[in-house]
Structure formats: structure tokens, C-alpha cells
Amino acid sequence: MPHHDFDLLVIGGGSGGVRAARMAAQRGARVALAEHGRMGGTCVNVGCIPKKLYSYAAGFAEDFADAAGFGWRIAQPPVLDWAALKANRAQEIARLNGIYEGLMTGAQVRVLRGHARLAGGHTVEVAGEDGATHRHTARAILIATGGRPFVPPVPGHELAVTSDDMFDLPVFPRRLVVVGGGYIGCEMASIFHGLGAEVTLIYRGEQVLRGFDDEVRAFTAEEMRKAGVQLRLRSDVARIDALPGGTRRVTLQDGATLDADVVLYATGRQPNVAGLGLDALDVRQQASGAIEVDEHFATSAPGVYALGDVVGRMELTPVALAEAMALVDHLLGPAPGRPARRMDYAHIPTAVFTHPPIGTVGLTEQAAREKFGAIRVYRGDFKPLKHTLSGRAERTLVKLIVDDASDRVVGLHMVGADAGEVVQGFAVALKCGATKAQFDATLGIHPTSAEEFVTLREVTRR
């Protein structure tokens, strides 16, 4: 067998890459990881973590307003210190960057600083920070470079920003236009509205949050409107122009115009494959640029693997982590006393941190009808107990979708406070194949919103 510098060389220091490198090294493999940016990837630096921190920040504005109904008198109107929020976020992200660095050091993974590219069979070139290019060989190479925001080439697109920029804007935008109705666009619209911006969201489709349950989409859109976010559906941008003083003028295809301090494009993400040298080994890609892989994450090039957002399956941090562990078991065998892990994409829960947030696991109503034919739908919406005193008009939606033949709950959806926390627990039940009868036999915790899932008795529709 040819000698290689490493058993595994990982390109990309995000969630999936770091997990694969650490797990492989702990099994005794010689591992290197190449990264030219901050450790932790999108999730830590410009994704999940800062997004959730800013969502908390936006939530305080709601709490201040709600407090009056509970007898609290706030003497002076609260004021957002944007610079303090940014500084505190940056400090926390730097701490997490250090933890990721420490994970690599602790596992004895060699970190190669620089931009890596495939340079031949089992070979990677790293353009290092010292200005030199270094070649390394490995028995297996893993591409885990994630994704990046996509901005369509509309006239003036260079005047817009992406989600990567939103957490560190020099000045807080009093007027924000968000282009895109996916989960990132809706989250950013909700968060910055909560922080005090006047927000307009533009989406060319019929309804926001394509891919989610239709009832969840409509309910969330209405709650966003009630909160004060302006939604312009079936609309798109024709051009963006710069006005004196830094204002951006957005001209829509129907001729209407909007002025904003910041225009955010949240129109999807694309695989981060530029400069990877995929052509050198004829690594097959989909039309989107995503790297094609088989069930074991092997690409068309011998010895080259890929996982996470760069393969374009489910672009979620926990998915990348699970894929990494399945790959390590495939390459090195399972840990002693454990079965080999395989990736299962069924019943993966997710949350959208709009205000109110969404939690979902399993199938949408439409997908369940297509798969099972006969289904039962149970749903309810209500004013949460908190808002009986706060006076806020926000409502909560809970929804169960049941396969009629087996009585199994195949979809569970919630829009409301702490939806992600609630749905995470119910995801275990769906993974175990829980039936509606078992939901009915489970006692609720009163008074909570979560108890509604075990007290839904009347079929809404079949």
C-alpha cells in the first residue's frame, strides 16, 4: 500500500469537517484539516449561533412591551445599543472559535492554514498563510467546505448585502429590505424588525417558506404581518440604485420603489466549491454545483469524499455532524461495542427562528397525502396564556398529521414560543414510530403550549 502523509485530510473547518477530523483522530488515524478562515464554519461564525443570539436580542423588545400587562412599569423606553450587541456577539464567537481550535489540538489533528485544492490522486495543495504552496497526500480526502450565499445578477446587486454581513453592519439599519422568502429571509426580517428596524420582505412566490407545511407557511406569514413586517409577495426586484447619503433605492418589476438603509439578499445558498480543483479529478457535480456522493459519501473520484452543505442534501448543522460520524464509521469501522452508524434522513427536526418561531418534524400535510393517501389532520390555534395579560395578538399553531392505516403520527408542526424546544422532544416520539393513540394516552403538562399536542382529539380534516 502506498505511503501517505495522512490517513484522512479534511478540507473545511466547519461543523462536519471538524467532527470527522476529531472522530477519526480519536480512532488512531493520522488526520489533517485545512482551513483558511475562522474555525467553526457558517454555523458558528455567520449562521446558527449569531442568528440565535440576535433572535434573543429581538425577543427582549417583545418582553419589554409584554411586561406592562404583568404590572411592570419601565420608567424609560429601552434603547438598543447596536455596538454593544455586536461586541458581545463577537466575543462569544471568538470563544467558540477557540474551542474548535482546542478540539483539533486535543485530538492531535494537524491544522493546515490556507486555501486547499485537489491536485491529483490522493493529493491536496494548500496555499499557506506563509505565501508558499504545500503538497500533502492522504489515503482519504474529505471535502466539507459548506455553502455560501447566492445573489442573482440584478442591476445594482453589488449594493446589497448577504446574511454573512448582517451581524456586523457598521450602523443599525432603520429601514431594511429583505429579498427572499426562505427561512433565512424570514428569520432576518423577524429579528431586525424586533430590534427596531422598519422591514419589508419581497418574495416572488405565492407564499413564504416554500417547502414547509402550507398551513404553517400561511400562519407564520400572518403572524409576521401582525407584528409589523411588511410582506410583498409575487414581487421581485428589477434594480437597486445608490442615492446620496447611502440610501438604496429598490425598484420592483411593477415599477414601485422602496428606499432602504440596507438591502439584504437572502435568495438561497450554493455549494462552496470554487477553487477546489474538482475538475482535476473529474469529481461529478449536480447542476447546482453540489458534489454528487453515494450512500457512503464517496464522490466519483477514488478516495475523495464529501458531506454537509456542499453535497446539497439537508443543509443543517446536526445533519453534517451525523454524516461525519457515519463516514468515519465507514472508513475506520465503528467504535468498539457499537454498531456502524448509517445516515437516516427521515424524521429530522428543524426550527425557524422567526417571531414566533417554527418547529417541525416529519412530513408536511401535502407530502403525507402523496405518500399515504388516507391521512387524518389534527390542528389547533390559540392565544397562549402569557398573552391573556400581555395583550399581544400573537397566536400559536399546533398540528399533527396521522397515517390513517397505521395510526402513526408522521408529521408534527408548531408555530409559537419555544417551538424548537418543544418539537425536539416530540421528534424522539416520531423517530420511535409513536401512534396517535399513544399521544392520546400521554398526559400533558399543564399549563403549557406543548400539552396541546397530546390533547388534540377532534379530526380537523381527512
Just list the catalytic residues: 446
For the beta carbon of residue 225, count every other beta carbon within 10 angstroms: 12
Which grid cell sits at 35? 482551513
d(CA 190, CA 316) in angstroms, rounded, equals 20
DSSP letter (8 states) at residue 337: T
Nearest to 266 by CA among 178, 206, 169: 178
Instruction: Answer whether 454's CB lies under 8 Å from 440's CB.
Output: yes
Nearest to 123 by CA among 140, 137, 133: 137
Instruction: Answer whether 145's CB lies under 8 Å from 247's CB.
Output: no
SS3 246: helix
For the beta carbon of residue 163, count every other beta carbon within 10 angstroms: 23
Q: Which long-range contacts (CB under 8 A, 24 or more apart) does 370-375 make?
A: 371/410, 372/403, 372/404, 372/405, 372/410, 374/403, 374/404, 374/405, 374/462, 375/401, 375/402, 375/403, 375/404, 375/410, 375/462
Residue 39: C-alpha distances to residues 46, 98, 201, 357 (Å): 11, 8, 32, 28
